[in-house]
Amino acid sequence: MLEAHSMTTNYAQEENENREELKLISEQWDSPVIITTTVKFFESFFKSNPSDLRFLHSIADSVIIFDEAQCISTGLTGTTIETMRMMCDMFKCTVLLSTATQPAFDIRRDIIFKPYEVISSPQELYDKTRRVSVEWKKEGPIPLDYIADEMAGKQSVCCVLNRKDHTRKLFDFLRERCLDGECFHISTDMCNAHRDNILERIKERLRNKKTCRLVSTSCIEAGVDLDFLNMYRALAPLEAIVQCAGRCNRNGRHNGEMTVFEPDEEKKYPSISYQNAVVILKTILMRHDIDIYDTSHIREYYTALFEDSNYSHDKKSLEDAIKNHNFEEVEHQYKFIPQSGVNVLVPYFEEIGLYDELAEESRTKGISKDWMRRAAPITVTSYYENKLKDIAEPCKISTKHGLIDIPGWYILLSEDFYDELTGLHFEEESSLDYLI
């Protein structure tokens, strides 16, 4: 089995004599089982350098499973579905889409999408897995301190918000109302080791039925096994709300309750496209409440989404690049995550020894793929490079001319900018909007 994604460098752990062979295996995906990310898989198809496409022949006659298929970016939908169709028609692959909220891709007039269900009666399955009741707060925006008051009165509760600044604000409100050790915060401003540590503490408290209150961004909505009695979710696209419900009464032992509300904040959403999807959801809610276990309601949402002019076609810049056979521009335009972040090595207190070792190695020897692999647990992706230049130093890389700065990697110089509760932070809030 081979893992091929941004957080792994399989061959870096091996002895020198095996590294080149394993590097070639990794680049060519020469393994019977490959585990990768949707981002890595599809973006690899649209690389403009032939050497980046060494893996392509290896997918022939494969079974390809895409988990969380609803996460396909709306600006890339047509191109992505067409790529899947090509894999089936030309490469004789079998493609399986796995999701709790199947997008109605067939509504798009520019897409040929004719899948068949592998489950004979999806609605029957939804009915059998009904574990959470949803209350839709429609009376208007609700202040975060009011949500904090409600959460403080519950023993097992989580609130997921759309923006990091909202998350920190609610966390501060909650800490004012609760005892130390009862409240937790999670976002991608925290390095992997930090988040893993917090998640283990949360799971331990939930297992032992201790008071546990979590405020988080959407980074816990997929691949994180948590089971809260009560859930709050800031108004979001329907697929995000359904994902959030999966962290409530996950094991089906209680009656899960989830409240969806609109925060009373000036900036509510992380992007225009995110906001547009919420507006479509609110339009449906004006007509009727949405049952997240009703497949017809899910299809109604996606039908309205893909009939909207903002989502009825791929972004024009990508369509033009493909039409003009401008392969370099296609690579530039086909991005699941359009923002270009930088990596920051942070002095997480639980791994301060590793931080010191890696920081010194960068300054004396330069960084390598093996260095990046070892740095992964204490690295944070940040989109505020201008602010980092005042509080961090660039990592070095060794060349024939000596050590030079490498773009995209920094070392945070002071523990003052890495909080033990909320992770990487700056003295002033940024006006930029980011989801998680």
pLDDT digits (tens, 9 = 90+) for 345-361: 999 999 999 999 999 99
Position 376 pLDDT exceeds 50: yes
Contact 417, 424 (CB under 8 A): yes
**Which pLDDT does position 31 carry in this prediction?**
79
* pLDDT category of residue 115 using cuts at 50, 70 and 90: confident
**CA pair distance 38, 69, nearest whole angstrom:** 9
Tokens for 255, please give them. Answer: 């009656």
| Band (55; pLDDT cuts 50, 70, 90) | confident
For residue 85, pLDDT beyond 50: yes
Which pLDDT belongs to residue 337? 80
How far from 236 is each of 62, 100, 164, 288, 300, CA to CA, in Å?
35, 16, 14, 17, 16
pLDDT of res. 389: 86
What is the pLDDT confidence band of residue 435, given thresholds at 50, 70 and 90? very low
Mean per-residue pLDDT, 21-32: 62
Q: Distance between CA 319 and CA 308 in Å, rounded?
A: 18
Would you say 237 and 281 are in contact if contact means Cβ atoms under 8 Å apart? yes
Kindly report, residue by residue over 243-302, the tens digit of the pLDDT.
Answer: 999 999 998 888 899 999 999 998 999 989 899 999 999 999 999 999 999 999 999 999
Residue 50 confidence (pLDDT) above 90: no
Residues 263/145, Cβ–Cβ less than 8 Å: no
CB neighbours of residue 376 within 10 Å: 16
Q: How confident is the model at residue 52 (pLDDT cuts 50, 70, 90)?
A: confident
Q: Bigger pLDDT: 258 or 39?
A: 258
Lowest mean pLDDT among 97-111, 179-193, 291-305: 97-111
250-264, 302-316, 327-341, 405-419: range with lowest mean pLDDT: 327-341
Tell whether the model's pLDDT for residue 27 goes beyond 70: no
28-37, 279-288, 290-299, 403-412: lowest mean pLDDT where? 28-37
List the single range of 226-240, 365-379, 414-428 with lowest mean pLDDT: 414-428
Percent of all residues in the chain with a pLDDT value above 70, rounded to a whole number: 91
Work out the pLDDT band at 223, boundaries 50, 70, 90: confident
Cβ(409)–Cβ(395) below 8 Å: yes
List the domains of the chain with CATH numbers.
Answer: 2-119+311-333 (no CATH), 131-292 (3.40.50.300), 342-424 (no CATH)
Indicate whether 395 pLDDT > 50.
yes
Residue 5 has pLDDT above 60, yes or no: no
pTM score over 0.75: yes
Mean pLDDT of the chain: 90
Is residue 26 within 8 A of residue 4, CB to CB? The reply is yes
**Token pair for 90:** 């030309």
The pLDDT of residue 362: 96
CA gap 140, 170 in Å, rounded: 18
pLDDT at 425 over 80: yes
328 pLDDT above the threshold of 70: yes
Mean pLDDT of 411-430: 86
Give the end-to-end CA distance of the chain in Å, rounded to a whole number. 30
